[in-house]
Amino acid sequence: MTKVPVYSSSYYLDTVVYTLSLLDSEKRFKLITPVDIPEVESKRTEALLDYEVLDTVSEDSFDALTRLATYICQTPIAAISLTDRKRQWYKSKIGFSSQEEPRDITFCAYTILQKELLVVQDSLTDERFATNPFVIGAPYIRFYAGVPLINLDGLVIGTLCVLDHVPRDLSSEQQEALRIVALQVVTQLELRRNLRVLKHSITHRKQSEKLLRHNAFHDKLTNLPNRVLFTERLARALKRTKRQINGLFAVLFIDLDRFKVVNDSLGHMVGDQLLIAIARCLESCLRPKDMVARFGGDEFAILLNNIKDVNDAIGVVRRIQEQLKLPFKLNGQEVFTSVSVGIALNTIDYIQPEDILRDADTAMYRAKTLGKARYEVFNSTMHDHVLTLLQLGNSLQRAVERQELRIQYQPIVLIETGKITGFEALVRWQHPDRGLIFPNDFISIAEESGVIIPLGYWVLREACCQMRAWQLQFSDDSLTISVNLSSKQFLQPDLVAQISQVLRETGLNSRCLKLEITESVIMENLESATSMLLQLKDLGCELHMDDFGTGYSSLSYLHRFPFDLLKIDRSFISRMDISDKELEIVRAIITLAHNLNINVIAEGLETAEQLAQLRALRCKYGQGYFFSKAVKREGAEVLIAESISRSV
């Protein structure tokens, strides 16, 4: 069958010329077909898509309604049809085999344009259908009755129809019953859709719950288990080993070295990429039965199940270290990193997972303090050491109030003449029970506890006050005092205001205050450091880079910072008279400083030979036991007097 449209001026009806191919001939006929309103057509199509019923398999619930329609109307043919843009598709049918028909030649194409029952008692006497191919050809339809299927939105989406091969009519009771069945068809469609929506909602809720559970126990950035899940698994491991004789496992506490440098210098995006890369690296070094988690920041933890001895755990650490020898390529840059690792085994009778985590963390901290990029296995002496540190920390909280802190002064000398130009203020703690405690044993505790802020302020004020007193006592305003700034002090937003207040109250000229900052502090906080250094420089203080050569080798940044002096670390000076390598390093640092118009202090000068070498290298200042150890106030006054007498 082919068709050739002949367009009319009617909005609802078009005339179409059809050619019907019969067995031995062709018959041309004209058929008046309905044309739907475009807006309604679009909404109906959307509604059918929403039901998701087109082209689905037959369903008993719809077939039962079709059978009921034939029973009520006593017809051999019935169908539930759904109409889209081009076709009429049958969800259920009785009395014929076709699954769909072209829409514009069906009886139902008229029914969907109205909202009432359409009854055609004899199709041959109705001009709309007299030439219809289904009337003049198989299945020879003579009777049709169709009820529009109107959904809850008022849209006609299809029909429930009954058909017969002979002319006939329906009683009013049959018509009403057919309408009721049509309502049941719509109800069934709505139930079907609601069930699908409900299933989708349940599925979505389950997926949401699954995602929430996942997020509750996993790190969002790396997708690794988080501390909560790790602690839960660790608790299970502890319970399991209580029931097993040989149930050894290990916990590895891992911290990235220099991660803050990467974050501050390359940006947080690269920092996040590095954390993800580290996560994948750690996973690749483990067995399926092991577990790695991210605890937050740059901290990770690993649970190694069923190991033979500590060597298994050490072997995993070495695999990780070997992997990290290669740089990560992130955002077009090569990034090198290392890790400090603490190892704790369940050889101790741990009860809570937090206990073994604490000990692994303690071992990791020990690895950090011993130089980073290494591992340490926890032992009881570490625990004792931690308890000692805790006790010291508690005592340190009151040390400033109890006036237990002391300042000693080590002279800084002009290498060429031997004249004392100033002193470095070095804090000591006169503990009531432990005696004199040196900075290496309590400054890190002060940093962690926050006591470093009031402690540092006290040292700054005492040192400035003492230096001004010496200037007046010896009539020498050129004497200077050097004070170390810790990382936490250096990052205090009111640091400049504090220093300005101290200088004003003590009467010390700002040019006589030398502030020593380690290069590691600067490199860990590049942006903040640059701003703070410029503010301190504007205040009139001299800026010294302490321990140069031992930190992050910030040569590429040195020209950006307003330093007046570099302080060469004692580790180079102490060996320069016995090692050509150290001598050349010292020479290179001094040459670099001179080229940048920066002065140099050699720290740790102990021998006459070292003094001669430094003089030959044109190093301006020296500091060390060769001149004097750090002394109390009275000893410093003797040194000043002797220096003045030598220069007269």
24-35 average pLDDT score: 51
Q: What pLDDT sits at residue 193? A: 86
Q: Is the pLDDT of residue 177 over 90?
A: yes
Measure the CA–CA gap between 563 and 542, rounded to whole angstroms: 7
pLDDT at residue 174 greater than cutoff 90: yes
Grade residue 514 by pLDDT with cuts at 50, 70 and 90.
Answer: very high
pLDDT at 292 > cutoff 70: yes
Residues contacting 605, CB < 8 A, separation 6+: 573, 611, 614, 622, 623, 624, 625, 626, 627
Q: 300 CB contacts (<8 Å, ≥6 apart)?
A: 224, 254, 255, 278, 279, 282, 292, 293, 294
Cβ neighbour number for residue 176 with a 10 Å cutoff: 13
Do residues 157 and 44 lie in contact, with contact meaning Cβ atoms separated by under 8 Å?
A: yes
Residue 570's nearest CA partner among 578, 582, 579, 581 is 582
pLDDT value at residue 551 = 55
**Confidence (pLDDT) at 557:** 66
Decide: residue 317, CB within 10 A, 0-12 exposed, 13-18 middle, 19+ buried. buried
Closest CA to 375 of 359, 361, 364, 386: 364
Q: What per-residue confidence (pLDDT) applies to 12?
A: 40
Whether residue 31 has pLDDT greater than 90: no
Tell me which of 104-108, 411-415, 441-445 is least confident: 441-445
Per-residue pLDDT of 550-571, as tens digits, reads 655 556 567 778 999 999 888 8
Question: In terms of pTM, does the model score above 0.85?
Answer: no
Is pLDDT above 60 for 35? no
Which tens digits make up the pLDDT trace of 369-404?
888 889 999 987 877 776 777 777 778 888 878 888
3-state secondary structure 379-399: CHHHHHHHHHHHHHHHHHHHH
Question: What DSSP element (H or E) covers 352?
Answer: none
Cβ-based neighbour number of residue 89 at 10 Å: 19
Interval 64-87 mean pLDDT: 94
pLDDT of residue 251: 96
Q: Which domains does the chain have, with CATH numbers?
A: 2-192 (3.30.450.40), 227-378 (3.30.70.270), 391-647 (3.20.20.450)
Does 16 score more than 80 pLDDT? Answer: no
How far apart, in whole angstroms, are the C-alpha atoms of residue 502 and residue 464?
A: 7
480-497 mean pLDDT: 92
pLDDT at 37: 58
Q: Which of 618, 626, 552 is nearest to 590 (CA)?
A: 618
Most confident of 128-142, 519-533, 568-582: 128-142
DSSP state of 26: E
Q: Give the pLDDT confidence score for residue 195 in this predicted structure.
A: 87
Is it the case that residue 28 has pLDDT exceeding 80?
Answer: no
- Residue 617 pLDDT greater than 90, yes or no: yes
pLDDT band of residue 33 (cuts 50, 70, 90) is low
The pLDDT value recorded for residue 1 is 43
Q: Which one of 388-397, 424-433, 633-642 scores highest in mean pLDDT?
A: 633-642
Place of tokens 């008993």: 60
Given a cut of 90, is residue 95 above it in pLDDT? yes
Instruction: Say what the pLDDT of residue 17 is.
Output: 45
pLDDT at 434 over 70: yes
Q: How confident is the model over 250-291, as pLDDT tens digits?
A: 999 999 988 888 887 788 899 999 999 999 999 999 999 999
Please determine, for residue 21, whether its predicted confidence score (pLDDT) is greater than 60: no
The whole-number pLDDT of residue 200 equals 85
pLDDT at residue number 14: 45
Q: What is the mean pLDDT of the chain?
A: 88
Comparing 190 with 647, the larger pLDDT belongs to 190
Please give the average per-residue pLDDT across 485-514, as a whole number: 94
